[in-house]
Chains A and B, each alone.
Chain A
Amino acid sequence: MGSDLRLWGQLRADKAGMAGLLVVAAYFLLAVGVWAGMLGQDWSSAGGDRWASPGAEAWFGTNLLGQDIFQRSIYSVRTAFEIGLVVSVLSTLLGAILGAVAGWYGKTWVDGSVLWLAGVLDSIPFYLFVAAVAFALQGKPWAMHVAMVATFWTGTGRLVRAEVMKIKSREFILSARAIGLPDLVILARHVLPNTGHILLIQASIVFVAAIKTEVILSFLGLGVQDGVSWGLMLAESTQEVLAGHFNNFIAASAMLFVLLMGFNQLSDALQDAFDPREAAL
């Protein structure tokens, strides 16, 4: 596909973007390693001394329970990717569908209801909303996912709605009608595919947002219930930092920082590559 090649060429030329892609790919491999049971399996055993220094035994040292910080930060990559993927895929899907329907039936009660719903969800302070959902779904490990998907789709939804309104008046939609295609088929086959660039960029933005949010929620005790995440490690480190032990804190922060930097660079580069005005320059 010609335009794919052009996009890839554009992305290749963007050095920061390519560095971001490499970072994300490296993290993804770690996550796959954990999923496959090859890496980070020893994250919960409390065998060693507490607060051991980094060494051959435990590369990043141990925490206050004597758990291996390196193993824990690697296992957390999996947690982060799991949440990032689930939330970005589901919220992008939801945003695409609701946004497309709202845009297609623009200025009708359908559109009004979707906008109203988005407005209501956007107006609730996010952490309050998550706390409410976490309380309502007590003990369910996916309470956090539900809360994020329920609120993160609104941005995508609004963008898709506007784009669909624009596409709707384009001539190829008229010509799809002129060859006799029914409305729903036109919406699914000619309108939604033309919003693909927005969906891809939004998915990458939501992915980052979901990982960040997971860390914050876990830190607050509203997030990951079983397993480990950078947020839980940071929560532990609040007790350690005062005692002068920084390993846990540094490991979790650094892992999170590098992944988010990489992903932001990548999504910036994607945005540039897809922007037709930039491409025309």
Chain B
Amino acid sequence: MNPAVLTVRNLSVQTASGPGQRPAADHVSFELRQGEVLALVGESGCGKTKTAEAIMGLLSPDRWKVTADEIRLEGTELTRLTPREAGRIRGSEISMVFQEPLTALDPVFTCGYQLCSVFRRHRGMGRRESRESSLAMFGRVGFSDPERTFNSYPHQLSGGMRQRVMIAMAMACRPAVLIADEPTTALDVTTQAQVLAQLVELGRAYGTAILLITHDLGVVAQYANRALVMSGGKIVENARVDELFDRPRHPATVTLLSHAAGAVN
């Protein structure tokens, strides 16, 4: 078995204002191993996204209270980093693809500019160098005309293309871990398959472990090695994907499976 690149132990997320409320994530623990695709599944509102944002350190401390015994990324303890150190790691060692690519890209800048800013920030590249790297990266995620994508504004691209731009930005520095938060939910079915295949292929090529957040068990069956099932903020099942489908142990898993079957029929 491959070594773990991301270890999360007892991660809890609560609203800062109401400590009496049910936590968004409740003592979540898991390991993400090198090169694997780990699915995090669950109905909407079960705490998947908040878990991801807590790992990335994106939750604003005046609204969320995040506690964890350990969030370890390849030997670096993320919970103990200063904001400055965290900024150096985010986007280079661990990165994230968001659900809605139109709102996740800045409307007033070209896609090329936004990808360049990743290379400038983490690789210390200049204008020319970052431009060349960006064009290569756009080619890598399947754009037939990288030059044109480079000069396009987000609103000029289709949903699938925008998500590819997001993937290019997230994968630009060949991170150890990529968190993909429902990356294809906003896309239509055919585009979904293409974008996901691209993402998984790129992860394999770069040796990036992927935490794939989804509520779509079809996606899990096709792309993931293992799956975590989340319900009410807790991880209720952690299994290999074939086991999960053959012998679901938790009622939440059974419900998810029956819904997936219902959608097919």
Contact = CB atoms under 8 A, between A and B. Distances in A.
Contacts of A193: 106, 108-109
B135 to A, nearest CB: 18
A123 interface: no
A196 B56 CA distance: 30
Contacts of B58: 174, 177-178
Q: Which of A170, A171, A176, A196 has the most CB of B within 10 A?
A: A171
Contacts of B70: none
Interface string B100-111: 100111111100
A180 B109 contact: no
B89 interface: yes
B84 A182 contact: yes
Interface string A154-185: 00000000000000001110111111111100
Nearest to B108: A193
A250 B53 CA distance: 66
B105 A179 contact: no
Given A2-B153, A172-B103, A194-B108, A179 B98 contact: no
A180 B121 contact: yes
Contacts of B6: none
Contact of A176 (B103, B106, B156): B106
B90 A180 contact: yes
B156 A178 contact: no
A178 B91 contact: yes
Contacts of A178: 56, 58, 90-91, 95-96, 98, 170
A1 interface: yes
Nearest to A106: B62
Contact of A194 (B87, B96, B106): B106
Interface residues of B, number: 33
B156 A2 contact: yes
Nearest to B93: A180
B84 A180 contact: no
Given A1-B153, A179-B117, A171 B103 contact: yes
Task: Decide if the interface of chain A is mainly helix, strand, loop or mixed.
Answer: helix
Contacts of A176: 106
What is the predominant secondary structure among interface residues of chain B facing chain A?
A: helix
Contacts of B228: none
A180 B91 contact: yes
Contacts of B170: 178-179
Contacts of B89: 180
A206 B117 CA distance: 34
Given A179-B117, A180-B87, A180-B121, A194 B153 contact: no
Interface in A1-48: 1-3
Given A182-B84, A190-B106, A194-B108, A171 B153 contact: no
A193 B106 CA distance: 10
A189 B86 CA distance: 20
Nearest to B106: A172
A1 B83 CA distance: 35
B136 to A, nearest CB: 18
B121 A179 contact: yes
B122 interface: yes
B261 to A, nearest CB: 33
B105 A175 contact: yes
Of the listed residues A174, A177, A179, A194, the one surrounded by the most CB atoms of chain B closer than 10 A to its CB is A179
B92 interface: yes
Interface string B24-61: 00000000000000000000000000000100101000
Given A2-B153, A180-B121, A182-B84, A175 B104 contact: yes
B166 interface: yes
B169 interface: yes
Contact of A180 (B103, B106, B107, B122): B122
10 contacts: A2-B155, A3-B153, A172-B106, A175-B104, A175-B166, A178-B56, A179-B118, A180-B92, A182-B83, A193-B109
10 closest pairs, A vs B, by CB?
A179-B91, A180-B91, A180-B90, A171-B103, A175-B104, A178-B96, A180-B87, A171-B104, A172-B106, A193-B108
Given A172-B104, A194-B107, 14 more contacts: A3-B153, A171-B100, A171-B104, A172-B106, A175-B98, A179-B90, A179-B95, A180-B88, A180-B121, A181-B91, A181-B117, A182-B84, A189-B117, A196-B108
